Amino acid sequence: MRTLLAPLALVALASAASAGPPTAPQQRVPARGPDGATVSWERLDELLMTRYARSDAGRDALLHLVRARLLDVLAEEAGLVVTDEQLADRESLLELQLKAAGEARDLGEYLRRNNLTPERFRTFLRRGIVQEQLARRALGIGPGRPVPPEQQELWLDEVLSQREVHLPDPPWKDGVVARCGAVVVREPELAVHLRTQLPAEDVFECCYQLLLVDRMRARMPDLSPEAERAAIQDELDRRRAEFAEDPRYQGATFEQVMAAAGMRVDRLARDPAIVAAALGRLWVERLGGEEALREAYDSERRWFESRFGAAVRARALFLRAARMTNPLTPRTFEEAEEQLRGLATAIRDEQQFVAAVARHSEDGPTRDEQGDLGWVRAEDGRLSPEARAALFERAPALAPGAGRDVRLLGPFRLTGGCVLLWALEQQPSPPWERMRLHVDNELRKRFVEASLPRESVETFLDPS
């Protein structure tokens, strides 16, 4: 919406469309699971505030809300009233722009796709017109001349500076999260705003996790509150210990890192991500602990080894190819294989392979890493079964000093092209002390998936 509205001088409030109270689409429950279980608005809002109120995204949403409310105050102070006729004219102009840009057949379709009601959009539109007209007056720009969005923004920034924006830190004892002159924003108002201002995937994740912990608890009906609290405390202690040992955080505590990301650390024990992790570990323990992990590994040894076991590290030189050429694929598989064989004749060592990758490889991410694929395991979907088999066949010979005849493999066909490989080193299957962690993680993952498949969750953000 921001780009489309820029010519109408509404860019400043493109994110303020949901600054008002909840409207019809939000009167539904925020999320519903496959068994009819629901999440309340109160639980969702608490989680959004816990995770995001002090994050960068939450701060941006709060400032958008302050700006929107400030425009309402400024319009009242100036006696400025936007008429229905002005709104209708602006809506017509916007609809023409939407059609010309191919964004939608009409304004109604565009609003439905963006989960906006006409009433809320008109509130947004009205504020945009207020901003334009007040900026015009303040800057002395005549009625026949446009007011560039950048100038409108600078004017509103100046007003905000004059009236002083205060964003107190949590906990908010008086419930006020922002002040700017006569403008006061309270916790519930910011929570409503966060519902639509945060990325949809983040809001979905909150809804999903709230439903998930309910389903996980339902699968352990004999779990006492005391046992759950102990499991949550163990999970928090485990995370604190991991942070303390991680050199990336240079001595920072778990709570400090969470606070820096905008989290309310006083509510961590209620965060469903923490609770779900604790319940998952508790579920695996109830299966039988170490004995259950061994049994799961033994019964699915091939599966676990193919994903977490022995590996070979390799570099790759990739050329796009297809059965028939097209505008996006310049060569056939046969032509790509012939070109790679030609390149292979000039490669004598790893340095020359890396140089060839830099000059010829057509896969950007691996080319930027000098062709490094990292560790390739038996079920690595990046390579074909033939390529993986060749790597593992050569693995025993990858001793220091092994030359070109051992390390250079291919070319091999992949789905979208052909690849030449340079095998670097092998890694044996990890000892049980490490493999058990993978088994434990997998069992907990399966518990989550069985408790609540993601695709079974409906949220208020879904199209009506």
- Interval 66-116: pLDDT, tens: 999 999 999 999 999 999 999 999 999 989 998 898 888 988 888 887 777
Prediction pTM value: 0.79
User: Would you state the pLDDT for residue 444?
Assistant: 95
User: Would you state the pLDDT for residue 2?
Assistant: 35
452 within 8 A of 438, measured Cβ to Cβ:
no
* Residue at 435 is within a domain: no
User: Of 182, 198, 214, which closes a domain?
Assistant: 198
- 12 with 99, same domain: the answer is yes
- 35 with 88, same domain: the answer is yes
- 350 with 265, same domain: the answer is no
Could you tell me the CA-to-CA distances from 403 to 59, 313, 325, 368, 376 in Å, in that order?
Answer: 56, 15, 35, 24, 20
Q: Is 250 left (phi over 0), alpha (psi -120 to 50) or beta?
A: left
Residue 103 tokens read as 């964004």
- 99 with 39, same domain: the answer is yes
- 83 with 96, same domain: the answer is yes
- 367 with 298, same domain: the answer is no
Quote the domain boundaries for residue 271. Answer: 202-303+451-459
- Interval 25-79: pLDDT, tens: 445 899 999 989 999 999 999 999 999 998 999 999 999 999 999 999 999 999 9
Stretches in the chain below the pLDDT threshold 50? 1-26
User: Would you state the pLDDT for residue 20?
Assistant: 42
User: Would you state the pLDDT for residue 240?
Assistant: 92
Could you tell me the CA-to-CA distances from 361 to 330, 419, 420, 444 in Å, in that order?
Answer: 14, 9, 10, 39
Can you say how many angstroms the Cα of residue 398 is from the centroid of all Cα atoms in its chain? Answer: 39
User: Would you state the pLDDT for residue 464?
Assistant: 62
CATH number of the domain at 393, please: 3.10.50.40
* Residue at 84 is within a domain: yes
Can you say how many angstroms the Cα of residue 49 is from the centroid of all Cα atoms in its chain? Answer: 18
- Interval 167-205: pLDDT, tens: 998 889 899 999 999 999 999 999 999 998 999 999 999
257 within 8 A of 249, measured Cβ to Cβ:
yes
391 within 8 A of 314, measured Cβ to Cβ:
yes
Domains identified in the chain, total number: 3
